[in-house]
Amino acid sequence: MQITSVVNQKGGVGKTALSVGSAAALAERGLRVLLIDLDPQGHATTEMLGLPEVPPQSPSLAKALTKTWKGPVEDLVVTHPRSNVGPGGTLDVIPTSPGMFDLIRRLDNFRVPGWQLARVIQFANYDHVIIDCPPALDLLTNNALAATHGILVPVQPDRTSIRALRLLNDQLGYVRESVQREPIPYFGVVPGLYRRPMSTYAQAALAELQEFGYPLLSHVPLGVVMNEAAAHGTPVTTYAPETTQAVAFRQIAEILEGYRTRYPAPAPVPDADEFVFEDFITEVAQTRNDNDNGARKKLYDLLPKKPRG
Ligand SMILES: Nc1ncnc2c1ncn2[C@@H]1O[C@H](COP(=O)(O)OP(=O)(O)OP(=O)(O)O)[C@@H](O)[C@H]1O
């Protein structure tokens, strides 16, 4: 089971489009695919795949991460009903659950271990897991990076993307050290969201991005079909299978599938100290109606004074 995180702390660069497109293209090949919507905005869940939000009383990824609910990962999964899936394949989704994630995100100043997501999915049975990360180098992204076998990074060819890539590299180093895992490889950098013909500025930025030396994968062309597919809650590979966007996602899926033989099993999850989440999220639940500062202070008092791991 290969785990790929789609990550870039810059907003609106095409993470969700790339996550959904490549997950759907893998499922189309007859592979069993799990897409995790780790972004509290929930765009993959609701905007792109037209799935309903998780009702507050149901099991959810946020509850599983915080261990306020314990059960099999299958109970978190919904199967997307409108994707072209090859024989034997499936496109399953773990939707986001916005309310709790918002709380978790507010705790991002606290250093907490990063293995919660890896634990939730360690017994999942898929060929590929694709994680759509939030636009932040926060606790949720750290969890994805701890669990992942490699990353896909969508970029726009401009100066801010070059800076974003440098920051991301710093973060990869930080996560690697803090959860003590092996280096996190780039499965690819995916340029997109620019017009053709490319401006001289964009060409120069793309050349500079290439200097990082990461594999540069198929460019995903701009096209209104992306929004049309989303309006139908359907991946573009199903909605408009002949388009250049669908073709690009299939090429990216082929690259991901090529890596899979290297990663037959999820990375082992260390048997680390389980301290924080259960207690402190119970506390979060009780402080939900407090103002932010009150809630943070209460939580801070519950946390260990130095990180464990
Ligand atoms: N190839 C494309 N052509 C046209 N529009 C696109 C394309 N890819 C993405 N978009 C649109 O651009 C917007 C941003 O894309 P997307 O939501 O995938 O970015 P994101 O990085 O996940 O955003 P966020 O950082 O907010 O999570 C969306 O409205 C999406 O439909």
Question: 6, 8, 10, 15: which to mutate for ligand 1, most atoms within 8 A of CB?
Answer: 15
pLDDT of 305 reads 43
pLDDT of 309 reads 39
Q: In this model, does residue 230 exceed pLDDT 50?
A: yes
Q: In this model, does residue 22 exceed pLDDT 50?
A: yes
Q: In this model, does residue 273 exceed pLDDT 60?
A: no
* CA–CA separation, 230 and 154 (whole Å): 18
- Residue nearest ligand 1's atom 13 by CA: 12
**Model confidence over 168-186: pLDDT tens digits?**
999 899 888 877 788 999 9
Give the bridge partners for 189, in sequence order. Answer: 153, 216
- Residue nearest ligand 1's atom 23 by CA: 12
Neighbours of 213 (CB within 10 A): 8
* CA–CA separation, 53 and 137 (whole Å): 24
- Residue nearest ligand 1's atom 2 by CA: 222
DSSP letter for each residue of 84-126: ---TT-EEEEE---HHHHHHHHHTTTS---S-HHHHHHTT---
Query: What kind of fold does domain 2-271 have according to CATH?
Result: Rossmann fold (3.40.50)
Residues 6 or more apart whose CB falls under 8 angstroms from that of 218 comprise 190, 247, 248, 251, 252
- C-alpha 12 to ligand 1 mean position (Å): 5
pLDDT of 253 reads 98
Question: 9, 151, 227: which to mutate for ligand 1, most atoms within 8 A of CB?
Answer: 227
Among 122-131, 172-181, 248-257, 285-294, which is the least confidently predicted range? Answer: 285-294
Answer yes or no: is the C-beta of 13 below 6 A from any ligand 1 atom. yes
Q: Are 42 and 98 in contact (CB under 8 A)?
A: yes
pLDDT of 112 reads 55
Answer yes or no: is the C-beta of 230 below 6 A from any ligand 1 atom. yes
Query: How much is the ipTM here?
Result: 0.98
Query: What integer is the mean pLDDT of 156-170?
Result: 91
Question: 96, 160, 193: which to mutate for ligand 1, most atoms within 8 A of CB?
Answer: 193
Identity at 83, one-letter amino acid code = S
Query: What integer is the mean pLDDT of 20-29?
Result: 98
Answer yes or no: is the C-beta of 231 below 6 A from any ligand 1 atom. no
Cα 40–chain centre separation: 11
Look at the block and give the residue holding tokens 């659950």.
97
- C-alpha 66 to ligand 1 mean position (Å): 29
Burial class (CB in 10 A: 0-12, 13-18, 19+), 89: middle
**Model confidence over 73-112: pLDDT tens digits?**
999 999 999 999 999 999 999 999 866 666 566 565 455 5
> Six-digit token pair at 158?
């401009």
